[in-house]
Chain A
């Protein structure tokens, strides 16, 4: 059976992967934890970077910014909303 993850699931898994590493994680760790292809990770991280939710450090690790923490909390609420209304 096809198990398609939607956009919101992918973003939550990326942000949670960083959050669980105390707000700073290596891209390979995020790749592994979020279960994404390199191409997809790059696509989403560049979008999240542009919106100021995450930042790339000099050592190539990714940090979760304050806006990102708030955004993750909002996404979890939205996910709950989707679950409750089956949408």
Chain B
């Protein structure tokens, strides 16, 4: 079986470091969301916390799959812009498949969940979970389906938060951070959609993603230091 690696060779491992940074950010938000639930006893705060935890777990699966790829990179060849590698182990093939499928499923479910909370919906979650699972499975052969779905979900989150910012007068600049972070993540997904064209696009996408999580971290620290 032949798989594709859309990452420049010099970037191997760096993306794992970036993913670890993202995990730390989402864990901080998970912890704070759960702390909030402890006070409010509101289920949506528990769900908010769970969806951020899900993003963290998704990144762990991605790291697992990436690590597996880099380990097997010895058996690779480069043709034009794409790196092809030949797997010699069925165990690795299974790990790669499980890792990326779980990563995609959990990422889509987490961002859908955040959107679901934002829209204050109370039905249709199970049906949506089914469709997300189907997309995760099918995106293995067409990777861009996952990125397009993520783009749509993030677009929903961005517009929802941005409308809130616009509606609130006088404008609260702090409330612009959430839509801005989702906008950065949205851009990263747009770039990831086109990674087959140029390996460098993977790096650009990762940078946008890093910017998105940096804004979320900044937002977290703004809250921690908030004094009325």
Contact = CB atoms under 8 A, between A and B. Distances in A.
Q: Do A and B come from one complex?
A: yes
A11 B38 CA distance: 14
23 contacts: A6-B42, A7-B40, A73-B227, A75-B39, A76-B228, A77-B223, A80-B174, A80-B222, A80-B226, A81-B32, A81-B223, A83-B172, A84-B174, A84-B175, A84-B222, A84-B223, A85-B48, A85-B178, A86-B160, A87-B44, A87-B45, A87-B48, A87-B117
Q: Which 6 A-B pairs have the closest CB atoms?
A: A80-B226, A81-B223, A77-B226, A76-B228, A87-B48, A78-B36
Contacts, number: 53
Interface string B184-228: 000000000000000000000000000000000001001110111
A83 B161 CA distance: 10
Contact of B178 (A11, A75, A86): A86
Contact of A7 (B41, B117, B175, B177): B41
B142 interface: no
Nearest to A16: B228
A73 B226 CA distance: 9
Interface in A62-85: 73, 75-78, 80-85
**Residue from A75, A77, A83 whose CB has the most chain B CB atoms within 10 Å:** A77
Given A76-B226, A77-B224, A77-B226, A84 B39 contact: no
Contacts of B3: none
B81 interface: no
B128 interface: no
Given A8-B40, A86-B118, A87-B117, A80 B45 contact: no
Q: What is the interface of chain A mostly: helix, strand, loop, or mixed?
A: helix
A86 B223 contact: no
Interface residues of A, number: 17
Contacts of A8: 39-40
A11 B39 CA distance: 10
A80 B39 contact: no
A81 B37 CA distance: 12
Interface of B: 32-33, 35-36, 39-42, 44-45, 48, 117-118, 160-161, 164, 172, 174-175, 177-178, 219, 222-224, 226-228
A86 B209 CA distance: 21
Contacts of A87: 33, 36, 44-45, 48, 117-118
Interface in A1-55: 6-8, 11
Contacts of A84: 174-175, 177-178, 219, 222-223
Contacts of B161: 86
A81 B36 contact: yes
B220 to A, nearest CB: 8
A85 B175 CA distance: 8
Contacts of B160: 86
Contacts of A6: 40, 42
A86 B226 contact: no
